[in-house]
Amino acid sequence: MNLLFKLLGTGVSIGAGIVGSKVVNALWEKATGNKPPKGHDDMETSLRSALTFALISAAVSTIIQVVAGRSTQRAISRFSKTPDIV
């Protein structure tokens, strides 16, 4: 059962990361009117814009990781305390 919870936690983290990056990209595009900087060959974007996007994206990613990890740990502890119904 512990392996199942670890796999579930990993899946939740990956899903939350994908959703988070989509949200950051959409908010960036709405706020700046430009597509988010992607890749090292995007020379049309200013360095300031690329660094700002990277910092925002990293911060959101870290927050999502912490929240997903803590939520998974709470769920594991909750399920491990409940008695098995047979």
pLDDT tens digits along 32-82: 998 888 876 767 788 898 899 999 999 998 898 888 888 888 887 887 775
Q: How far apart are CA 86 and CA 6, in angstroms?
A: 23
CB-based contacts of 51-59 (< 8 A; 24+ apart in sequence): 53/28, 56/24, 56/28, 57/21, 57/24
Domain borders along the chain are 1-10+17-31+44-75
Name the pTM for this structure. 0.72
- The residues, any chain, with a CB within 8 Å of residue 69's CB and separated by 6 or more, are 9, 13
